[in-house]
Structure 1
Amino acid sequence: MTNSDVLDTELLTQYYESLGKEGLMLSLETFDSVIKDYASVLQTAVDSEDEEAVRSQAHKIKGACRSVGLKALAVYMENIEKHQWNWAQAEQWLLNWADSVTPHRQQIDMWLEQKSH
């Protein structure tokens, strides 16, 4: 996937220009600290097959991802929040999402380094 598939570089550029590198990094640190808890709550809802809780938590995670420009990760959660699915599909989407968090988050760091030079 290219940066434009994974990241909302327009949003990140706006943040970079208004907050500076340090401000954007603080936002990313906040994301990093909350996303694990959000994912844990989501997994608990999946484990108990509570569809309403899964959709609600997916909405929250989608917003967190979008707020830091993680466009592709937000799409996974939007699918879980808004579309019809069965539990096997949801679990696969969540596995794909979980496998993508670190590399996508690292793409922001690489983007930020390129912006800084």
Structure 2
Amino acid sequence: MSELVTIDKALIQGYLDNLGGTVVNQMLELYKKQSSVYLSEIELAVSEQSQQQWQERCHKMKGAAGSVGLLSVHQFLVEIEKSTAPWPQKSELIARLVSANNNAITEFERWLAA
């Protein structure tokens, strides 16, 4: 089984080469703030049991994660975006999403610092 690739190092390196470290750090900080908003909105969709909001919020976060190179988060959102799982199961998916997001952000920060 292949190892899960958490971040897109080639994409991030391209950003570094073209935009510089300051801008890339600003991008990551903006993503961290925005992903917190997205996660809250996804949780709200579950509490309201709104499939439409679930899909819309997951879709937004999927795009944001992809644009900053968080491959594992993007891929997980691809998998769950259209999920019609029962709402309690979606709560579990959110917990996994939060964990994946935190892990990817940490790896991004470690890679930038190296």
TM above 0.5: yes
Is residue 51 from structure 1 mapped to residue 51 from structure 2 by the alignment?
yes
Identity over aligned pairs, percent? 24
Matched residue SS, 1:6: coil
Matched residue SS, 1:7: coil
Matched residue SS, 1:90: helix
Aligned twin of 1:67: 67
Give the aligned length. 113
Alpha-carbon RMSD: 1.8
Unaligned runs of 5+ in 2: none
* Partners of 1:72 and 1:86 in 2: CA distance: 23
Aligned twin of 1:21: 21
* Partners of 1:14 and 1:48 in 2: CA distance: 40
* Partners of 2:88 and 2:43 in 1: CA distance: 13
Larger deviation, residues 43-52 vs 78-87: 78-87
- Give 2:75's aligned amino acid: V
Deviations 1:2-42 (A, max 9, x none): 6x611111111111111111110011111111111111111
* Partners of 1:88 and 1:17 in 2: CA distance: 44
* Structure 1: 4+ residue segments shifted above 4 A: none
Larger deviation, residues 17-26 vs 77-86: 77-86
Matched residue SS, 2:85: coil
Conservation of the 8 A alpha-carbon contact between 1:76 and 1:93: no
TM-score for the superposition, normalised by structure 2: 0.88
Aligned twin of 1:10: 10
- Give 1:62's aligned amino acid: K
Larger deviation, residues 88-97 vs 78-87: 78-87
TM-score for the superposition, normalised by structure 1: 0.86
Unaligned runs of 5+ in 1: none
- Give 1:35's aligned amino acid: S
Deviation at 1:73, TM superposition (A): 0.8
Matched residue SS, 1:98: helix
